[in-house]
Every structure is written in C-alpha cells, then in structure tokens.
C-alpha cells in the first residue's frame, strides 16, 4: 500500500529557507519589515515545496474572516458575467475567500437579503456589480456596515467605485467610422435605464458633434441579439446610413443577421461596430470590429479598492479603465470613397 504524501507545513518552509517559522509567517502576511533577500528566499522555498498557506487559520489569528462578498446582477449578459468572474479571480489572488450572491431581480428587499446573508457569513467587504439605475439607487441607500464597492453603472452615485470609461469607448468606435469616411452613423443603444447605455450614447453624440454632424435619435435595443435584429431591419430601410455602432456585440450580431437577410453586404454596403469583444466576435462573418473592455483590470482594481477600505488606508481615486478599439473586417470606407 502506497504511503500518502505528507503536505508541506510552515516548518518545512522555514527549514529550507534557513529562517524561523515566525519569519515565514511575516512573509506570508506581507510584513514590510522583512529584508528583500530574506523574502525572496522564503518565497522560493514556498514555491519549491508547493506549500499552501492556511488562509482560514491566518484569518483566525488576525481576527478577520478573509472573506469578500460579491453581489451580481444580469448574469446572462457578457459584461456583468465577465466582471463577476474577474472579481472572484482577483479576490482569490489577493488571498481572500470569495462568496457570491446572484440576484434575479434588484429590489430593496432582494439586496437587503443578499447583504444580510453576506454579513452572516462574516465578509469584510462587498463588491456590487450593478449596471442599471434601480440597482444603483438601492446601493446608494444601502448601509451594510462594511466597505461597499460598486462596479459598473453610474459611478458618481457610489463613494467607492470602479469602472471602464464608457464614453471614451463609444467615441473610439464612432471616430473609427468617421476616419473611414462615414457620415451617416446610426447608433443602436442599450436600454437607457442602464448607465453604460447612456454613456455610450453620449460618446457617440460627442464624436458626431465634434465632426460637425447632427446624429439622428438612436435605435433602442435591450442588449439582446433579438433586439439588434429588429434594429437591423429598421436600419435596412434607412438608405442613407453607411455605418452602425451597436452598444454591445450581442446587438451587433443581430444587426449583421438582419442586414445579411436583406442583402446589404458588410462592410461593402454598410459597416458595423460592436462593444465588449465577446469571444465569438473574431469568428463572425465578417469578423466584428468592436471595443474591448479589460475585465481583469476591473476585477483587480475592485479588490485593490476594497482592500484599502478594509485596512483603513487613505483611499486613492481609482481611474477609469481605458478601453481598446479592436479593428476587424466588419468596417471599411463607404462605397465610392477612399482614405
């Protein structure tokens, strides 16, 4: 019978690194008093042995739970789901346990229940992924007793917040089309009770205005491909339109389908830009030009902010994450022009 391999303990790390177990403990807990060469030696021993610190035991010693709560909404949408995952990953990387509550609807009662649940399990802070106005209003009035960080939405309504520069992302999308020579650019917006949808409308309008153009009213969607398809059918009837900026990739996919069915070629007859850079975007026909959001950076910043608040550190303003334009084959100069 094979003898079970014994997992390494702190004493093994101390022996290999040639230090005391108290020094190993201080390195694990991030003490600033450790000399750099000693810290390096201890970390090398930890890696070599495959030692895994007991986070629960450390939490008991410090008198803290080491737990972060995450309240998620709209888990069927790519953006909120990606942010939720990135916050969980960043929390684990920072040494926290992450426990999540997903809300099917955002009401005062639902949020109070989620908050009570997280407080009962002893979280040290809560990250709320809130995109639409109802969620943000509930969060603004919430009194949880622990630091509460809001990700997404109208960040001006929360004292602790992290997000992407949505206005800049929409400007990037629109300016890309303008540089190609487009002047009649229709925007398919998300639901306007979402702050991101309003910010993307604002960025589109700013870019059009600065180009000396007066944009028409957006065609409204609800983030779904079905609403994008309905918008695409309307846009087909707008004979002067040469480009479409959709507020997310799902709606852009619906637009592409509607235009294809009606015989308008992308990008030869009309260009299309999305927002989010979903994994499928590069594999559509044609591959979709879109705006990429750095969800991993959002997760890291959310955990950085909540860690500062938990530790009572002076809070530094968290700058908005800068999005990135990803150019693919769904955009080109309008027919009859050159760039």
pLDDT by position in tens, the chain (length 339): 445 557 788 888 899 999 988 888 777 665 657 788 888 888 888 888 887 666 555 555 555 678 899 988 767 788 888 999 999 998 888 888 888 888 877 777 887 788 888 888 888 888 988 777 776 676 666 666 788 888 876 666 566 788 899 999 999 999 999 999 999 999 999 999 888 999 999 999 999 999 999 998 999 999 999 999 999 999 999 989 999 999 999 999 999 999 999 999 999 999 999 999 999 999 999 999 999 999 999 999 999 888 888 888 777 777 889 999 999 999 999 986 654
Give me the pLDDT at residue 231, please: 98
Residue-level pLDDT at 66? 82
SS3 52: coil
Alpha-carbon distance of 152 to 131, in angstroms, equals 5
Whether domain 67-164+295-321 has CATH 3.30.565.10: no
pTM above 0.85, yes or no: no
Residue (of 210, 129, 120) closest to 171 by Cα position: 210
Within the chain, all domains assigned CATH 3.40.50.2300 are found at 67-164+295-321, 166-293
pLDDT of residue 118: 86
What is the homologous superfamily of the domain 10-53 according to CATH? lambda repressor-like DNA-binding domains (1.10.260.40)
What integer pLDDT is reported at residue 9 of this predicted model? 82
For the chain, percent helix, then strand, then coil, each to nearest 5? 45, 15, 40
Q: What confidence score (pLDDT) does residue 197 get?
A: 94
Q: What is the pLDDT of residue 221?
A: 97
Q: Which residues contact 188 (CB under 8 A, 6 or more apart)?
A: 218, 219, 220, 221, 228, 231, 235, 244, 245, 246, 247, 251, 252, 255
Question: 166-293 belongs to which homologous superfamily?
Answer: Response regulator (3.40.50.2300)
The residues, ordered by sequence, that sit 6+ positions from 226 with a Cβ below 8 Å of its Cβ are 254
């Amino acid at each position: 019978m094979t003898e079970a391999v014994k997992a390494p303990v702190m004493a093994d790390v101390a022996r290999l690194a040639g230090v005391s177990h108290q020094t190993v403990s201080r390195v694990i807990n991030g003490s600033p008093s450790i000399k750099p060469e000693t810290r390096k030696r201890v970390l090398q021993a930890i890696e070599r042995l495959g030692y895994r610190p007991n986070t629960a035991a450390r939490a008991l010693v410090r008198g803290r739970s080491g737990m972060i709560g995450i309240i998620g909404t709209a888990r069927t949408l790519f953006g909120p789901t990606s942010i939720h995952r990135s916050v969980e990953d960043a929390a684990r990387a920072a040494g926290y346990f992450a426990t999540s509550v997903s809300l099917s609807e955002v009401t005062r009662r639902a949020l109070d229940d989620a908050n009570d649940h997280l407080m009962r399990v002893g979280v040290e802070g809560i990250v709320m992924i809130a995109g639409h106005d109802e969620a943000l209003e509930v969060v603004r009035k919430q009194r949880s007793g622990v630091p509460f960080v809001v990700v997404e939405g109208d960040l001006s309504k929360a004292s602790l917040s992290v997000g992407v520069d949505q206005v800049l992302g929409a400007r990037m999308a629109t300016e890309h089309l303008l540089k190609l020579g487009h002047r009649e650019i229709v925007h398919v917006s998300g639901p306007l009770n979402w702050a991101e949808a309003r910010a993307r409308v604002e960025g589109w309008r700013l870019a059009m205005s600065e180009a000396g153009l007066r944009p028409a009213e957006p065609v409204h969607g609800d983030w779904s491909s079905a609403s994008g398809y309905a918008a695409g059918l309307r846009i087909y009837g707008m004979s002067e339109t040469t480009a479409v900026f959709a507020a997310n990739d799902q709606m852009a996919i619906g637009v592409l389908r509607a235009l294809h069915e009606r015989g308008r070629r992308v990008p030869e007859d009309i260009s299309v830009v999305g927002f989010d850079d979903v994994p499928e975007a590069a594999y559509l026909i044609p591959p979709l030009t879109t705006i990429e959001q750095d969800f991993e950076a959002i997760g890291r910043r959310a955990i950085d902010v909540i860690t500062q608040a938990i530790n009572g550190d002076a809070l530094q303003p968290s700058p908005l994450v800068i999005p990135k334009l990803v150019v693919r084959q769904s955009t080109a100069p309008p027919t009859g022009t050159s760039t």
